[in-house]
Structure 1
């Protein structure tokens, strides 16, 4: 943005101002619905361990977690487990274990979406990755290296009698119980349904934004999905995608032929809509959690 001209900035702002507010509002509602569904899905993993919790507290825990991620990336997962431990008496390590398993399920869905994008946009995607000097093989090798280090670390901890490692093993036992809850829950199909529903809402709320801008309305589903994947990684790797998400999404759309000002407007509107959902419900949750649970 710093290198853009005054005219380009004006065109970008005009595209944002002229965007169809109806579709932006629909996207907002879909985003809120996905978070509500995520909170509802959580109960399926807590029940096998004997913990019952209110939908309101689970939803507010989810929202304060997303809000916390704007400050410190991935800190929200910890805060989410702490919140449920505080207001629903679910042990931290078990609650955190369910969140880890939940993220694994989400990762599988994201991998499926990436697979579809690769099939739909193979040639263009390879050109884009090469143009951005992104080496998927290097990323895979780094990931495998990290997995190897984790496995070695686990074996060292398991065999050691050192007191700090004993405490780690106790914590790991609780985490493992929480993670295993995904295997013992009674309503597996309901969990699968909500997992698919959550990601369907993510995709649709992102896809609908294209209808708010005339220049992006005719963009193909394959290109939109490619931008969605890049945006997902941008959010995961940063604190809520601040400053990165709009440019990453806009960059993909521009690469595939969308006018630059419209592509960047798409990125900013999409990010702003998702962010507003989190700021609104996350902020309210921070206020309401202690008020609604004052007896606890």
Structure 2
């Protein structure tokens, strides 16, 4: 992956005039950049608020530890790519003993579902109201029509996905019982079977938020607020470069979508190279000159990830978890062992006592 990241960085910079890129970077307004960083920091807090709401149907949790875990998780993603996502559901149970690894893992999955749904909705709504510059419409008319089609198809996929979640929520007991029967085979390792069934139960428990209008409202509210806390800094970074034409907030949301897509590439350095190339491509699509687009993407990458690195290192060095322990969490094999260990503790009864009455125990009784 490191070699792939190097290739992407080369691909990103191969045709750039780096002298012009440096000049463009030097003209960036530091006030806008500072505002962007502050709003991104607020976004990490909003993630912690949402995570707390997602955990409510399963167990109580500490907002402080949720914030710390969120920043440490993003720091891990920066260093090792998307494989670092596993750090969050493993780190939190070590900081807050009330939260089981499987519960943290499932709610992290729900976060990603809500994030993807919100991002696609933002993108689709943006395409309805955003009018790109005339030059872009002329030069990229076919591509823009294709992007609109893709956005609408993804929106339809989000609707289908949420229908699936509602169906699973309503019929989780028979679905889990069916999987218990079909996975009770000699060729299926029991440890994997227990882990899989536990994740299904935790998913069913976490989907209890669908029963509560209040909890569902807060999840949606924090998710929308979170993505505005990313869209607004994206806009601030664009404004910092004082481009010869104005890009509205809707245009920044368009760029944010492509930046998010670029960040999904599992390369170290916070999707280094991929993030820059895709983000710059979105800006060029809007008529931004290539070297200016490159400069904006470089600053945008720093704004997105630098605060998480600062907070992450702070909590890493001021916490009670060693560097060696942190590095071991980056191994997916070790992470699975940790989850299984958590489940074994659950079976022994040591962790049932800290769970909310609304947790998965009721579902296990049903099944």
TM-score range, shorter chain: 0.7 to 0.9
Question: Shift in Å at residue 238 of structure 1?
Answer: 3.0
> Is the counterpart of residue 9 in structure 1 residue 18 in structure 2?
yes
- How far apart, in 1, do the equivalents of 2:68 and 2:317 lie? 10
Cα 1:48–1:215 shift into 2, 3 Å: same
Instruction: State yes or no: 1:94 paired with 2:124.
Output: no
1:65 match: 73
Q: For the structure 1 residues 267 and 91, does the alpha-carbon distance in structure 2 shift closer, same or farther, using more than 3 Å as the test?
A: same
In structure 2, relative to structure 1, the CA distance for the partners of 1:83 and 1:216 (3 Å cut) is farther
Asked if residue 41 in structure 1 is aligned to residue 56 in structure 2, the reply is no
Q: For 1:263, which of 288, 293, 313 is the aligned residue? A: 293
Which structure 2 residues correspond to residues 211-226 of structure 1 after superposition, within 5 A? 211-215=239-243, 218-226=246-254
Q: 1:54 maps to which residue?
A: 62
- Structure 1 SS opposite 2:320: helix
What residue number does 2:192 align with? 168
2:283 counterpart of 1:253: yes
**RMSD of equivalent CA atoms:** 3.2
Q: Does 1:80 align with 2:80?
A: no
Superposition deviation, residue 165 in structure 1: 4.1
What is the TM-score normalised by the length of structure 1?
0.81
Conserved in 1, the CA contact under 8 Å of 2:51 and 2:66? yes
Which aligned pairs between 1:143-182 and structure 2 lie closer than 5 A? 159-160=182-183, 161-162=185-186, 164-182=188-206
1:28 aligned onto 2:30: no
**Higher alpha-carbon deviation: 81-90 or 217-226:** 217-226
Supply the distance in 1 between the matched residues of 2:229 and 2:305 (Cα, whole angstroms). Answer: 15
Mark the CA change 1:130 to 1:45 in structure 2 (over 3 Å): closer, same or farther: closer
SS in 2 for 1:101: helix
TM-score by length of 2: 0.66
Q: Separation in 2 of the partners of 1:216 and 1:287?
A: 44
Question: Larger deviation: 247-256 or 122-131?
Answer: 122-131
- How far apart are residue 241 of structure 1 and its match? 2.3
Instruction: Tell me how far 1:26 sits from its aligned partner.
Output: 0.6
Q: How far apart, in 2, do the equivalents of 1:252 and 1:46 lie? A: 36
Distance 1:127 1:284, change over 3 A: farther
- Cα distance change of structure 1 residues 289 and 52 upon mapping to structure 2, 3 Å threshold: farther
Partner of 1:191: 219
Compared with structure 1, are the counterparts of its residues 181 and 201 closer, same or farther at alpha carbon in structure 2 (3 Å cutoff)?
farther
In the TM superposition, residue 200 of structure 1 has moved relative to its aligned partner by 1.0
The answer to whether the aligner puts 1:235 opposite 2:263 as a matched pair is yes
SS at 1:209 equivalent: helix
1:114 matched to 2:129: no
In 1: Cα distance, 2:208 partner to 2:14 partner: 54
Shift of 1:136: 5.5
Higher relative contact order (CA 8 A, sep 6+): 2
Whole-Å separation in 2 of the counterparts to 1:82 and 1:3:
39
Look at both structures and tell me which one has the larger radius of gyration over its CA atoms.
2
Gaps of at least 5 residues in structure 2 are 1-11, 162-175, 322-367
- Gaps of at least 5 residues in structure 1 are 148-153, 292-296
Aligned to 1:128: 143
SS of equivalent to 2:279: helix
